[in-house]
Structure 1
Amino acid sequence: MRIDLIEKSFINISGKLYDSEFINLVNIKDNKISLNDRTLFLTIQEKEILNAQSIRGFDDAVYVFKYKNVYGLIADLSIKEYDSGRIKCHELVLPDTVQGMLSNLHGYNCEAAPILLGHRKKIDYKSYIDRLQYKERFSLSEDFVIYVFCGEEATKITEEFLDEEHMYVADGHHRLYTTSLSTFKNSVFSCLISLDYLDIQPIHRIIPNVDAQLFEKAKDFIYSRFEVLSGDTPLSKGKIRIGYGKEKFVVNLIDLNSDAFWNNDIYRLNTQIISQAFRIFDTGSLRYLSNGELIKYKEISSKKDVIIETFPIGKEEFVECANKNCIMPPKSTFFLPKFPSFLIFKQYK
């Protein structure tokens, strides 16, 4: 696998950290952040605050980071590796999303959030850090440190990936595909983390505003077709928990006489429960929540909302599906940790 140095990059040294979903693209002009009228989702005051944040530029660099006990690398990935099939994807790409992203690429000049790629090999980044060959060190918090490597020292780190046959997209399917269609952008800003460090968490479903009579019909269908267990039964592969008001129960999804993809929990949930029991065929009408979001949601949820809790896919099952080029249903995986947005910027034009 060919991993490249970032030819022109910047790091935000203001000490501010933003969620990974905050912003994907930004303009940098004369070594300063330059968000303008094109960025519509931020107020003038918010843009002024962001534009005032200090950044430092580095050429031909990679960034090794340590977050708690997790090590990873921020670098550049040639889109040729994606086009060759060595980057394994597992999620459906939506044309409308890609169209908007292609348009935005022309309006900005820097990527501000890396895609997330998992890989098999566990690289000893600590040995590179201990040799003190990095150019700069930035301590962003007690748990989060970034080391900047440039030139030959950076190349030594990227060469660690030459014997890696595949990488797996954990987040960034649309950005990869958008770049593959672009006529002027030939690489993708990337965060590389060993699968040993990555955690796959579940994504839970909310069916909003379900009438009590409709829920009873769905419940009758489920009890007649599935094994139903106590609501306090711990979840595991093949089990989902359904909650409505004060009622909750666990459902054993039906095993299919096939491979891991067909027995993927989200596929079975969509086909066996959401479409058959609740008669919902457009999953765009659902809400999707992470573990943390679900805890907060339960405190304020409507009594008419159906909460469906899921169990995460295992890493080996995920890799098996990706290696077979299976396209999982949307919102099948939620990987952690995710690298912050608006911290490191890769200039692409």
Structure 2
Amino acid sequence: MKINLIKESYVNISGNIYDPDFINLANINKEKINFDDNTLFLSSNMKKKLNSQKLEKNDNTIFLFRYDDSYGLIADLDISEYNNENIKCHELVLPDTIQGMIANFHTYNSETAPVFIVHEENIGIEEIIKKREYSKVYDFGNLILYKYDEDNAKNILNLYQSIEKMYVADGHHRLYTTSMLKNKKSMLSCFMSFSDVKILPIHRIIKGIDASSFEKARSFMNNLLSINYDENISKGFVRVTYQQDSFLVKLKEVEEDLFWNNDVYRLNTQIISTAFRILNFSNVEYVLDNFLEVRKKELTNTDVLLEVDALSFDEFTELSKNNCILPPKSTCFMPKFPSFLIFKKYK
């Protein structure tokens, strides 16, 4: 696997830690963040706040990190590995999103959030860190960065050379967009072993369903699928909750299914599109599993909650290796590396 040193990187030493989906791109001029009048998605106050945060420049480095009890690498992925399908994808990319990203990559000059790449091999990053060959430590509490320069960094990257396949956990659109840009040959990336991550389910909420529409959908699910009241969700089942009513729906198995009877694909096709007759998913809300209990308390009388089981690692790798493309929001890998902490200047 071709993973390289980051030629020009910056660490945000302000102490602020942002959500992984906060901001993907920024402009850096004269070693300072520079959101100007061309940035329309941020308020003037937010731009002023972000522009004032201090950066520390690093040349030709990589970063190892400890995030709670998990470990990983931040480095620069050669986009040829994605183009040659050594980085396996599993989720659909949307043309409108790609077009917007292409414009943004031309507008800005620095990546601020790494794409998330996972691999089966255990590199032993915790043991590498214990050797204390890093040149600097950035301590952000439950997240600690270890900077490695030149030879020490290259020795670590050599451990990844023999890995033939890796998998996209998050960042499908950004990788696809980069593959289309002639003058952008790499992508800031976070690499983590399966042993350091978890796959969480992403649940759905259909909004604006009245009682009559729900009863029609329920009748369909009862007659053509099947309904029971077991408490635990497992593969092949979806829990449906509407008002005070909750039950499990057994998804229909599809013979020789291209998607290996994936639950999210069957949820979309058998329940959302067919039982509820919804083809426009603009009224469908996506809820990460770690926010589910909070979101349950906010459900209205016209919300239908659809809960699914998590994808297993075996199912994930099988789907990816067979080039099966799932719907967006099929998987959630945790932990995700924060946004706006490490910047990579790409032009």
Q: TM-score, normalised by structure 2?
A: 0.97
Corresponding position of 2:279: 281
User: In the alignment, is the contact (CA less than 8 A) between 2:178 and 2:186 conserved in 1?
Assistant: yes
Corresponding position of 2:200: 201
Corresponding position of 1:299: 297
Corresponding position of 2:324: 326
Q: Which shifted more, 276-285 or 73-82?
A: 276-285
Q: State how far apart, in whole Å, the 1-side matches of 2:132 and 2:306 are.
A: 49
Q: Supply the AA of the counterpart residue of 1:192.
A: F
Q: Supply the AA of the counterpart residue of 1:203.
A: I
Q: State how far apart, in whole Å, the 1-side matches of 2:99 and 2:237 are.
A: 37
User: What secondary structure, in the 3-state scheme, does the structure 1 residue paired with 2:96 have?
Assistant: helix
User: In the alignment, is the contact (CA less than 8 A) between 1:23 and 1:113 conserved in 2?
Assistant: yes
User: What secondary structure, in the 3-state scheme, does the structure 1 residue paired with 2:17 have?
Assistant: coil
- 1:305 deviates by 1.0
User: What secondary structure, in the 3-state scheme, does the structure 1 residue paired with 2:162 have?
Assistant: coil
User: In the alignment, is the contact (CA less than 8 A) between 2:258 and 2:324 conserved in 1?
Assistant: no
Q: State how far apart, in whole Å, the 1-side matches of 2:235 and 2:29 are.
A: 50
Corresponding position of 1:249: 247
Structure 2 residue 82 is the aligned partner of structure 1 residue 82: yes
Map of 1:175-214 to 2, 5 A cutoff?
175-214=174-213
Q: State how far apart, in whole Å, the 2-side matches of 1:266 and 1:225 are.
A: 18
Q: State how far apart, in whole Å, the 1-side matches of 2:168 and 2:297 are.
A: 33
Corresponding position of 2:140: 140
User: What secondary structure, in the 3-state scheme, does the structure 2 residue paired with 1:191 have?
Assistant: strand
Q: State how far apart, in whole Å, the 1-side matches of 2:131 and 2:92 are.
A: 43
Q: State how far apart, in whole Å, the 2-side matches of 1:97 and 1:270 are.
A: 21
CA distances 1:182-229 after superposition (whole Å, capped 9, x unpaired): 121110000000011111111111111111111111111111122311
Corresponding position of 1:342: 340
Map of 1:224-235 to 2, 5 A cutoff?
224-230=223-229, 233-235=231-233
Q: State how far apart, in whole Å, the 2-side matches of 1:181 and 1:260 are.
A: 27
Q: State how far apart, in whole Å, the 2-side matches of 1:57 and 1:18 are.
A: 19
Corresponding position of 1:266: 264
Identity score, percent: 46
Corresponding position of 1:120: 120
Corresponding position of 2:220: 221
Q: Gaps spanning 5+ residues in structure 2: where? A: none
- 1:260 deviates by 7.5
CA distances 1:5-53 after superposition (whole Å, capped 9, x unpaired): 0000000111110000000001111111111112212111111111111
CA RMSD of aligned residues (A): 1.2
User: What secondary structure, in the 3-state scheme, does the structure 2 residue paired with 1:300 have?
Assistant: coil
- 1:271 deviates by 1.7
Instruction: Give the length in aligned residue pairs.
Output: 347
Q: Which shifted more, 186-195 or 43-52?
A: 43-52
Corresponding position of 1:12: 12
Q: State how far apart, in whole Å, the 1-side matches of 2:319 and 2:39 are.
A: 37
Corresponding position of 1:98: 98
Q: State how far apart, in whole Å, the 2-side matches of 1:272 and 1:41 are.
A: 37
User: What secondary structure, in the 3-state scheme, does the structure 1 residue paired with 2:159 have?
Assistant: helix
User: In the alignment, is the contact (CA less than 8 A) between 2:3 and 2:76 conserved in 1?
Assistant: yes
CA distances 1:226-255 after superposition (whole Å, capped 9, x unpaired): 23111x511111111001111111111122
- 1:133 deviates by 1.4
Corresponding position of 2:156: 157
Corresponding position of 1:236: 234
Q: State how far apart, in whole Å, the 2-side matches of 1:268 and 1:46 are.
A: 41
Q: State how far apart, in whole Å, the 2-side matches of 1:325 and 1:256 are.
A: 18
CA distances 1:53-102 after superposition (whole Å, capped 9, x unpaired): 11111111000000111000000001111111101001111111111111
Q: Supply the AA of the counterpart residue of 1:324.
A: N
Q: State how far apart, in whole Å, the 1-side matches of 2:219 and 2:296 are.
A: 24
Q: Which shifted more, 324-333 or 221-230?
A: 221-230
Q: TM-score, normalised by structure 1?
A: 0.97
Corresponding position of 2:129: 129
- 1:259 deviates by 5.5
